[in-house]
Amino acid sequence: MNNIASQRAESRRHVRNSEKNRRVPSLRLHKASGQAYVVLSGKAIYCGKPDAAGFAGADTQQRYHKALAEWMAAGRQLPADPNTRSSASAHNT
């Protein structure tokens, strides 16, 4: 009985972990600098200041999607060489 219960618990844990791994990191606002950013592999990638229209301006969203696409294409890891990363990682004024 205990063996079956432990297998079920292990199975549930696996499902939770795989669900967590499929989540897409969200765009956030860095209050001190006023810049939008996303955290990928533990690193903050800045996508620029919001447009006059608000936080989710077209330019900010474009940089976010580009950084996210590159990260996902690399197997959810940032490139080893920072020069190969998109311009979205640079601090924008």
CA distances from 12 to 19, 31, 52, 61, 91 (A): 11, 37, 45, 35, 41
Evaluate if pTM is beyond 0.85: no
pLDDT tens column, 19-78: 556 789 999 989 898 899 999 999 999 998 877 766 668 888 999 999 999 999 999 998
Interatomic CA distance for residues 88 and 51, integer angstroms = 15
What is the per-residue pLDDT for 73?
92
Interatomic CA distance for residues 16 and 81, integer angstroms = 32
What is the per-residue pLDDT for 49?
86
Residue spans per domain, the chain:
26-89
* More confident: 86 or 44: 44
43-48 and 35-40 strand pairing: antiparallel
What is the per-residue pLDDT for 72?
93
Q: Write 73-76 long-range contacts (CB < 8 A, 24+).
A: 76/21, 76/41
